[in-house]
Structure 1
Amino acid sequence: MGDIMNFEDLFKKSALHLDAFRSVSYIDILLGLLCAFAVGMFIYYIYKITFRGVVYSYNYNVTFVLMAMITSVIIMTISTNIVLSLGMVGALSIVRFRTAVKDPLDIVYMFWAIAVGIASGARLYPLALIGSAVIGLVLVLLSRKKIRSSPYLLIIRHADTAADELRSKLVRMSYQLKSKTVRKDFTELTLELRLRDDNTAFVNEISAIEGVSDVSLINYRGDYAQ
């Protein structure tokens, strides 16, 4: 019995009364939420200027701001008491998210928002601010590089009468032939090429050739270029 009591006393002293599990002041709460909101808005801005998909989702972008703030609240909650932390882990373990994320880069933004919330809730404000500034700079630089040279697939369906004029148009472009499908009434070409600064004016020129029935420009993520 004495051993059990000693173990309980040791557990209380080593776990329940750690400095990590203490009350959070109102100032800490406000600073944590303010830091999470500020960096969340920074993530919102970076996502908006680096977005290269088809349809920009405002609701999805706002989620990053709220995710950072909610995560900071969770971290501040579980840092006050070990019992609350265990209960929070059990409660969150039953949550299931079934929304499909098509772009892997969107997952990076989600983890970024969660990391900011953790750092803000743990009162590691310099880590949240400096780390986010560096991550944002890297994303902007990588996004600019992607704009300068983006891989696309050009799919052209044409009749035999348009072959010569189409060949003269394509000879001025740098491309690689990926596939060629010849049918009775038409020929379909799939070409790989790289564009700089999203210049797609040549698509209209090819479409205007007599005998060309369909022209599609698709990037490797499956997004259609407009």
Structure 2
Amino acid sequence: MGNEVTNFNDIIKNSFLNQSMFGSLSAIDILLGLLTAFMAGAFIYGVYRYTYKGVLYSPSFNMTLLVMTMITALVIMTISTNVVLSLGMVGALSIVRFRTAIKDPLDVVFMFWAIAAGISSGAGLYFLTLIGAIIIGAVIVILSRKKHTDTMYLLVIHFTEQANDEVKRELQKLDYTLKSKVVRKQLTELTAEIRLKIDNTAFMNRLGDLEGVQDVSLVQYNGDYAV
């Protein structure tokens, strides 16, 4: 048992000592890896811009996806040349902290996609990188074009106390969830989340015609933000 442990330790030591500080990556391998990463990153860039459904499109974040793919490929090519260097780089990268808030969960998917494409291209799996990018991009485009049967809205009503019962009666006809209710002296502000399967806003006219209702507002609601 002792000899086996000694032999194993010798093998590990020899692998570290005999390995050159820099591997045998050729200029062609480096160019192919970076070119494949650029192609995959550019494809991710286009898919993100085409399928973005948020309020404010961020060109800088989209550009980050492209550059992140190439940087990840460069890191993978670097650590693949030497075991000692790879351990040092992993330790250095472990102290990096990303504090940028991600509002849309789909943005996390694009970030992981860019990192995965960079890893595969940096590892020399060029065909896997391109085929995977095409398949994942097609899935995202298909799912993004799928129309939902209903849409969420925020309904905001300002009314006096005398219209309280009539407003409740009209809201009971809708699929709504009470979000907030603020009473300021004689004026009440009510915010409700409603779901509409079709673009039928006739109920707003009925609410607006009620005695004591000052104004009615309807805003499309999508997760954490309003459109």
TM-score, scaled relative to structure 1:
0.77
- Residues 108 and 150 (structure 1), Cα distance of their counterparts in 2 relative to 1, 3 Å cut: farther
Separation (CA, whole Å) in 2 of partners of 1:150 and 1:55? 23
Deviation of 1:182 after TM superposition, in Å, equals 8.6
Counterpart position of 1:178: 177
Unmatched 5+ stretches in structure 1: none
Match of 1:159 in 2: 159
The answer (yes or no) to whether the contact 2:16–2:84 under 8 Å persists in 1 is no
Alpha-carbon distance in structure 1 between the residues aligned to 2:136 and 2:196: 27
Alpha-carbon distance change, 93 to 45 in structure 1, aligned in 2, over 3 angstroms: same
Distance 2:128 2:93 in 1: 25
- Residue 95 (structure 1) aligns with: 96
Q: Deviation per CA, 1:32-56: give whole Å up to 9, x if none.
A: 1111111101111111111111111
Alignment of 1:22-41 (within 5 A): 22-41=23-42
Q: In structure 2, what is the equivalent of residue 111 of structure 1?
A: 112
- How many pairs were matched up? 215
Residue of structure 2 in register with 1:217 after alignment? 219
Match of 1:190 in 2: 192
* Counterpart AA for 1:46: V
Query: Aligned partners of 1:66 and 1:110: how far apart in 2?
Result: 11
1:25–1:224 CA distance, 2 compared to 1 (3 A): same
Does structure 2 conserve the Cα–Cα contact (< 8 Å) formed by 1:71 and 1:121?
yes
Q: Which residue pairs with 2:74 in the alignment?
A: 73
| Rounded Cα–Cα distance in structure 2 between residues aligned with 1:66 and 1:10 | 38
CA 1:125/1:162 → structure 2, altered by over 3 Å: closer, same or farther? farther
How far apart are residue 155 of structure 1 and its match? 1.4
Change (3 A) 1:30 1:194: farther
The TM-score, its normalising length taken from structure 2, stands at 0.77
Q: Give structure 2 stretches of 5+ with no counterpart.
A: none
Change (3 A) 1:194 1:143: farther
**Cα distance 1:16–1:49, how it changes in 2: closer, same or farther (>3 A)?**
farther
